[in-house]
Amino acid sequence: MNIKKYIIIPNKFYVCLLNLFIKLKILGVYYESVWSYWIRGCFN
């Protein structure tokens, strides 16, 4: 099975997204500009 491959490769990206959701929940911020800012940071 190639399950591990899908878990390991995007792991850093998922951690970043998890951070993003936690920050949004804590700050209560749902603006598109903030979303794009953090998501762009995840891809870099």
User: What confidence tier does 42 reach under pLDDT thresholds 50, 70, 90?
Assistant: low
User: What confidence tier does 5 reach under pLDDT thresholds 50, 70, 90?
Assistant: low
For position 17, what pLDDT does the model report?
A: 78
Count of structural domains within the chain:
1
For position 30, what pLDDT does the model report?
A: 58
Here the tokens at position 43 are 């891809």
